[in-house]
Amino acid sequence: MKKSAVTIILIALLCCVLLPTLSACDTASTASGTDKLYVYNWEDYIAPGMVKEFEAYYFEVTGRRLEITYTTFDTNETMMTKVLKGDANVDLICPSEYSIEKLLLAGCLENHQDIYKDIKPELDRLNAEGQNITLSGMSSLGNGDGNIIPDIMEVIRPMFGALDDGKGNVYDMTEYMVPYLWGTLGILYNTSVVSMEELEEYGWGVLWNIQHNEELENKILMKDSVRDSYAAAVFYMYENTVYNRGVHKLPDGISPTYNKPYAELTVQELINCTDDAVLNAAEVALTEQRDHISGYEVDFGKDDMINEIVYADFAWSGDAMWAIEDGGYDEETDTYQLGYYVPPIASNIWYDGWVIPKTVRNKLAAMLFIDYMCRPMSGIQNSMEVGYSSAVSKELMRADEDVCAFIEENDYDIDEYFDDEARYPEINENLGVMRDFGSANESLVQMWQRAKSGNGISVSLWWILLVIVLLIGIVVGGYFLLQALKLRPRKLKADKSDLSSDSGQDIG
């Protein structure tokens, strides 16, 4: 047999061996027949055991085993950098609304309705075998709000329902995301150091300690997150303008973006305003804030509050609820160690949701996972564990016997749980939603880096450094002067005997 014929046969046999493996890769399955799902989520953002619970459910409805690889991120910006650079080959992500907008306009996300069409033959087959998979909990499939709180969808639809990418394409973001958890930004405070009277009078100014609380000075934490800290600065300046305080007000003049005075902008407009005047004013406020705070954090703030390392923290509502419940409680006075306050004049309301990126390999598992997270029992388990409010309808959860039993097993009163305003705030015009800053984002990041570093070095520190440099200069100069004196040529003294001898000879 010729060598060429042998080679052809060997190649054919190799293809026969590799083809099943390649097919398995296409369906996100391993060689052992186990399907794979890659989830990219916030840290501490799902109930323990929920991943394994879904793997069991997946096996129940498909007959195939599933292995979930679960990785986390700490900020939207960290996540977006990886996804936009193509460094995150995942099947599911859970960003915030403005990040979803950015990823969508960058062409990184899949339309859930299109994915549903792709997996429908598989769903039909499974249902024909006795399963009951409807994906009715998802709000992105055109079946109304699904299991999601209608008020949330009423905010998201008009704001993100017609996104123009500037290339002739218009997107409805509600077809690409399903809300998961939501909440507010506010102040987590130590009730023995910061009083309710202080919070009501000074609001966001407490994070700048404008009330001059000596115990609070340098015991405040801010978020190491550009969007959140910028929002705090804007709310603080707005508050100072409304109450005519003598510090850090909104800039004078007309906003070129909104064509009206800055003092007349709504909270929604302010939180998304990137005019140079507002950026410059925010930089001044954030830079000066450094003299009153302990530092910046993303995850350790709640622990530092519980351990009383600090006494105030710029916090997301879920972290605050978790810290309050995990902190101290005095039964005699019915007083918690910690409290959470959202200044009513202005704050941020945010929505994190599940999206499927273009890198998805297991579309069926991704869609089933989202739908599973939209179930009432999943909603209450996740919400109670991590502290954040589930986007699953309160009415659906109240009506679910298993949910109610779960709430009572965890020592909560059902009505008190769902009526808690910190957990389920009223959605009104004083709560702004963040949008993608687009091309202005780089200016914001640069401003934040300057402000966080204190715009270089404070004036007082400059004086200290100048004195140190002068002292070093004096010491170094004195040293070299001494060395120079030591090396200078010196006249040698003549020996007295020699002088006497010379004198005698001259006389003689």
Residues 257 and 271 in one domain: yes
Residues 43 and 191 in one domain: no
pLDDT, position 238: 98
pLDDT at 6 over 60: no
Q: How far is CA 193 from the centre of its chain?
A: 27
Q: Which domain, by its residues, includes 428?
A: 15-177+355-434
Q: How far is CA 142 from the centre of its chain?
A: 29
Can you give the C-alpha Rg of the chain in angstroms?
33
Locate 320 and state its tokens: 């605050």
Position 454 confidence tier, pLDDT thresholds 50, 70, 90 = confident
Alpha-carbon span 39 to 43, nearest angstrom: 12
Beta bridge partners of 267: none
Domain termination site, one of 377, 406, 434: 434
pLDDT, position 10: 43
Position 464 confidence tier, pLDDT thresholds 50, 70, 90 = low
Residues 137 and 250 in one domain: no
pLDDT at 63 over 50: yes
Locate 485 and state its tokens: 């004196």
Looking at this protein, which amino acid is placed at residue 192?
S
Residues 172 and 66 in one domain: yes
- State mean pLDDT over 65-69: 97
Mean pLDDT, rounded, of the chain:
88
Own/partner pairs, 152-155, CB within 8 angstroms, 24+ separation: 152/179, 152/182, 152/351, 152/391, 152/427, 153/179, 155/349, 155/351, 155/427, 155/433
Residues 105 and 253 in one domain: no
pLDDT at 20 over 80: no
Least reliable range by pLDDT among 13-27, 158-172, 218-232, 420-434 = 13-27
Residues 372 and 340 in one domain: no
Position 459 confidence tier, pLDDT thresholds 50, 70, 90 = very low
- State mean pLDDT over 222-241: 97
pLDDT at 300 over 70: yes
pLDDT at 25 over 60: no
pLDDT, position 474: 79
Alpha-carbon span 176 to 160, nearest angstrom: 11
Q: Work out the percent of the chain whose per-residue pLDDT is above 70.
A: 84
Alpha-carbon span 312 to 301, nearest angstrom: 9
pLDDT at 458 over 90: no
Instruction: Give per-residue pLDDT as tens, 117-132.
Output: 999 999 999 999 999 9
Alpha-carbon span 60 to 131, nearest angstrom: 9
> With contact defined as beta carbons under 8 Å apart, do 323 and 188 qualify?
yes
Instruction: Give per-residue pLDDT as tens, 335-370.
Output: 999 999 999 999 999 999 999 999 999 999 999 999
pLDDT, position 484: 60
Give a yes or no: residue 77 inside a domain. Answer: yes
Give a yes or no: residue 1 inside a domain. Answer: no
Residues 257 and 321 in one domain: yes
DSSP code, position 96: B
Residues 194 and 306 in one domain: yes
Position 466 confidence tier, pLDDT thresholds 50, 70, 90 = low
pLDDT, position 487: 58
Instruction: Give per-residue pLDDT as tens, 150-199.
Output: 999 999 999 999 999 999 999 999 999 999 999 999 999 999 999 999 99
Residues 341 and 371 in one domain: no
Looking at this protein, which amino acid is placed at residue 15?
C
pLDDT, position 228: 96
Position 13 confidence tier, pLDDT thresholds 50, 70, 90 = very low
- State mean pLDDT over 434-462: 81
Locate 33 and state its tokens: 């027949």
Give a yes or no: residue 481 inside a domain. Answer: no
Locate 175 and state its tokens: 């077809």
Give a yes or no: residue 498 inside a domain. Answer: no
Position 32 confidence tier, pLDDT thresholds 50, 70, 90 = low
CATH of the domain at 217: 3.40.190.10
Domain termination site, one of 403, 434, 465: 434
Residue 90: φ, ψ to 5°: -125, 170
Position 299 confidence tier, pLDDT thresholds 50, 70, 90 = confident
Least reliable range by pLDDT among 5-14, 67-76, 313-322, 440-449 = 5-14
pLDDT at 8 over 70: no
- State mean pLDDT over 270-296: 97
Alpha-carbon span 151 to 129, nearest angstrom: 37
> With contact defined as beta carbons under 8 Å apart, do 37 and 69 qualify?
yes
Residues 41 and 137 in one domain: yes
Give a yes or no: residue 151 inside a domain. Answer: yes
Largest Cα span, the chain: 143
Q: Work out the percent of the chain whose per-residue pLDDT is above 90.
A: 82
Torsion of CA 88, 92, 94, 97, to 10 degrees: 90
Residues 280 and 417 in one domain: no
Give a yes or no: residue 461 inside a domain. Answer: no
Domain termination site, one of 452, 480, 495: 452
Other CB atoms within 10 Å distance of the CB of residue 271: 25
pLDDT, position 460: 44
Give a yes or no: residue 260 inside a domain. Answer: yes
Other CB atoms within 10 Å distance of the CB of residue 78: 13
Least reliable range by pLDDT among 27-41, 99-113, 273-287 = 27-41
Residues 52 and 22 in one domain: yes
* Domain count across the chain: 2
Give a yes or no: residue 504 inside a domain. Answer: no
